Amino acid sequence: MTDRVSGPTEDEWAAAVAAIEAVPAGGRVLLLCHVNPDGDALGSMLGFGLGLCRLGGRQVQAAYPGGQQLPPALHGMPGAHLLVAPHEVWSDPDLVLCFDVASASRLGTLADRMSAPTSIVVDHHASNTRFGGIHLVDPGAAATSVVVQGLLDRLGVPLDVQIAECLYIALVTDTGSFRFEMTTPAVHELAARLLATGVAPAQIARRVFDSRPFGAVRLFGAVLQRSVLEPTAAGGRGLVWTYATLADLETYDQQPYVLEALIDSVRCTVEADVSCVLKQVAEATWAVSMRSKGGVDVSRVAVALGGGGHRLAAGFTGVGAAPDVIQAIRAELD
């Protein structure tokens, strides 16, 4: 693994632009993003896809592994018409770009498409394993969409309101609505450019962050009620954790996506630097979300347990009973 602090070099930018411009008329460009797409993965991919369509001349497909239904918050994003199901994805594209993907495993069954004649990895994870041909990876970028905006600028694609809506959703998702530490003056300048196209921020915020079925409100109540605070864990910095089971989802008649927002209600615990939510995906399999307020590098813990992410927001797939997964995290934290 290569931890790099600087963004793409001028050579890397030039190679990416040349590779995109080299796709012949009618050529096939495949866009991919990570499994269970979030706003940054999907927004970066579709925003770039729309930009590519504006350039014209190429065929464009967009896809993510698994192909499950998107959460309602991400329904109807501009560019959604580019999405195809995994089984419809071309087996022999001319060019592949992947967005917000730190390692090939996050592409699931679509990872083999990275063996296309040319592949470009567009990402902002410090833990990126550089698994493609050309790499536009900027660990200093608040979202993958920041890198996409740089690429569209270099391709001479002007922002319009549809491209901007995709990139804005990506940016607000990964900056936690401009609250997280990567929220630099440059991020606000990018946001200003996006808003200037006519994007409606209040409407997006309500749809993406502030909409939840009533059953999910009650489910959160039950799951938060069983949270555990361990003040001495993480070398005395404190750990707070909870878990949500498939049975919980059934009881409240909810879909798994509603659990993605749960970590935000747990991580506000002032007594703990580290927060953790286990979301059951099968009998002994858990999607684990971890957050830190700054005292702990949770990406180190996630990588050690087979996952990845950022210093203050990371995750992995936990195997076993919930107490065993928590014990593995506790051990890595100490």
Please tell me whether residue 315 binds ligand AMP under the rule CB under 6 A: yes
Please tell me whether residue 40 binds Mn ion under the rule CB under 5 A: yes
Of 145, 149, 147, residue with least CA distance to 137: 147
Question: What is the C-alpha separation between 238 and 99, in angstroms, rounded?
Answer: 34
DSSP secondary structure of 3-69 = ---S---HHHHHHHHHHHHTSPTT-EEEEEE-SS--HHHHHHHHHHHHHHHHH-SSEEEEE-TT-PP
Residue with smaller CB distance to ligand AMP, 94 or 123: 123
Residue with smaller CB distance to Mn ion, 142 or 333: 142
Please tell me whether residue 61 binds ligand AMP under the rule CB under 6 A: no
Beta carbon of residue 277, minimum distance to ligand AMP (angstroms, whole number): 8
Contact 279, 256 (CB under 8 A): yes
Instruction: State which of residues 79, 132, 238, 307 lies at the interface with ligand AMP (CB under 6 A).
Output: 307
DSSP percent split of the chain into helix, strand, coil, nearest 5 = 45, 20, 40
Beta carbon of residue 261, minimum distance to ligand AMP (angstroms, whole number): 10
Considering CB distances under 5 to 8 angstroms, the limit depending on partner class, which of Mn ion, ligand AMP, none binds residue 8? Answer: none
Please tell me whether residue 38 binds Mn ion under the rule CB under 5 A: yes
Question: What is the C-alpha separation between 264 and 131, in angstroms, rounded?
Answer: 31
Please tell me whether residue 33 binds ligand AMP under the rule CB under 6 A: no
Residue 144 has a CB neighbour count (10 Å cut-off) of 32
Beta carbon of residue 330, minimum distance to ligand AMP (angstroms, whole number): 18
CB crowding 173-199: b at 16 or more within 10 Å, else e? bbbbeeeeebbeeebeebbeebeebeb
Residue list 102-131, contact with ligand AMP (CB under 6 A): 102, 106
Please tell me whether residue 138 binds Mn ion under the rule CB under 5 A: no
Please tell me whether residue 98 binds ligand AMP under the rule CB under 6 A: no
Of 292, 308, 301, residue with least CA distance to 325: 301
Please tell me whether residue 48 binds ligand AMP under the rule CB under 6 A: no
Beta carbon of residue 59, minimum distance to ligand AMP (angstroms, whole number): 29
Instruction: State which of residues 8, 37, 139, 308 lies at the interface with ligand AMP (CB under 6 A).
Output: 308
**Three-state SS at 280:** strand
Please tell me whether residue 267 binds ligand AMP under the rule CB under 6 A: no
Residue list 171-200, contact with Mn ion (CB under 5 A): 174
Beta carbon of residue 55, minimum distance to ligand AMP (angstroms, whole number): 29
Question: What is the C-alpha separation between 28 and 91, in angstroms, rounded?
Answer: 10
Contact 30, 95 (CB under 8 A): yes
Q: How far is CA 29 from CA 24, 197, 202, 245, in A?
A: 10, 26, 33, 39
Of 133, 53, 139, residue with least CA distance to 102: 139
Q: Which stretch binds Mn ion (CB under 5 A): 168-176, 200-208, 218-226, 270-278?
A: 168-176
Considering CB distances under 5 to 8 angstroms, the limit depending on partner class, which of Mn ion, ligand AMP, none binds residue 183? Answer: none
Contact 313, 173 (CB under 8 A): no
Size, binding site for Mn ion by CB under 5 A: 6
Q: Which stretch binds Mn ion (CB under 5 A): 14-22, 169-177, 190-198, 242-250?
A: 169-177
Please tell me whether residue 93 binds ligand AMP under the rule CB under 6 A: no
Contacting residues toward Mn ion, per CB under 5 A: 38, 40-41, 100, 144, 174
The residues that touch ligand AMP, with contacts defined as CB under 6 A, are: 102, 106, 263, 289, 307-310, 313-317
